[in-house]
Amino acid sequence: MIDIRSIDEIARRIHESIPPGVREATGDLRQHIRAGVQAGLGKLDLVTREEFDVQRAVLLRTREKLELLERMVELLEARLEAFTGPNH
């Protein structure tokens, strides 16, 4: 998940982009913006970079194993065809 510092930074930037007169009209606008950003990000299905890298490594290993198994099946099918003929 995104850390609190990132959420605070997003909220701060949004808050600073609002004209000063509007900012002054609502004292806790920054907290509302922060809560809105946090709620929106909470609905997203996010993973950490570490989790992503782990899953990527698993996928690469799985792909390598699949390619190896496909080659093995091709060889076995060729051997079977050599023994039994093409239509068996």
pLDDT tens digits along 3-45: 667 777 887 788 778 777 766 666 677 677 778 887 887 788 8
Taking CA atoms, 10 is separated from 1, 16, 30, 45, in Å, by 15, 10, 10, 18
Task: Please indicate, yes or no, whether residues 41 and 52 belong to a single structural domain of this protein.
Answer: no
Task: Please indicate, yes or no, whether residues 73 and 86 belong to a single structural domain of this protein.
Answer: yes
Task: Please indicate, yes or no, whether residues 28 and 61 belong to a single structural domain of this protein.
Answer: no
Task: Please indicate, yes or no, whether residues 3 and 41 belong to a single structural domain of this protein.
Answer: yes
Q: Is the pLDDT of residue 1 over 70?
A: no
Are 54 and 60 in contact, with CB atoms under 8 Å apart?
A: no
Domain residues for the domain of 76 are: 48-88
pTM greater than the 0.85 cutoff: no
Task: Please indicate, yes or no, whether residues 20 and 57 belong to a single structural domain of this protein.
Answer: no
Q: Is the pLDDT of residue 87 over 70?
A: no
Domains contained in the chain, number: 2
pLDDT digits (tens, 9 = 90+) for 61-86: 999 999 999 999 999 999 999 988 77
Listed in sequence order, the DSSP H helices in 18-48 are 20-25, 29-42
Task: Please indicate, yes or no, whether residues 16 and 34 belong to a single structural domain of this protein.
Answer: yes
